[in-house]
Amino acid sequence: MNISEQNRLGDVLKFEIDKNYSREVVTVASGQNLKIGTVVGIKSENGEAKIVSIADGETDGSDKAFGVLLDNVDASEKSLKALVLARGGIVASSSLVFPEGSTSEQIAKLTADLDARGIIVRQSA
């Protein structure tokens, strides 16, 4: 019998400068069911900035990593508020969720996006 446990905040987030500085309350666009640790982008939807899963090849902001989702969010039916690590932290690479089918080059680009925002991805974290 295999037992599998979902990631928790401590599995993803290993360090942050200060929760009041590092975290942002954001709106997750409807139609998405995102897991903790998902690397997310941000784009403007009807004049409001909303979090979306990464969409490679787009030019609307959803192609760049904005941060890392800090909880599971099921926004399948409607947009919901969520907490994102947006700057100043260290995350564990093994707990990050990238878009299905991401290549090593795409993951490297998204990791560089996070690094530019002050979010460091560590393998040993």
- The domain ranges of the chain are 9-122
Average confidence score pLDDT of the chain: 93
For the domain spanning 9-122, the CATH number is 2.40.300.10
Among 1-5, 7-11, 77-81, where is mean pLDDT lowest? Answer: 1-5
Q: Mean of the pLDDT values across residues 42-54?
A: 87
69-91 pLDDT, tens digit per residue, is: 999 999 999 999 999 999 999 99
Check: CB of residue 93 under 8 Å from CB of residue 118.
no
Q: pTM for this one?
A: 0.92
Please give the Cα distance from 51 to 98 (Å, whole number).
14
Q: Which of 23, 24, 26 is nearest to 34 (CA)?
A: 26
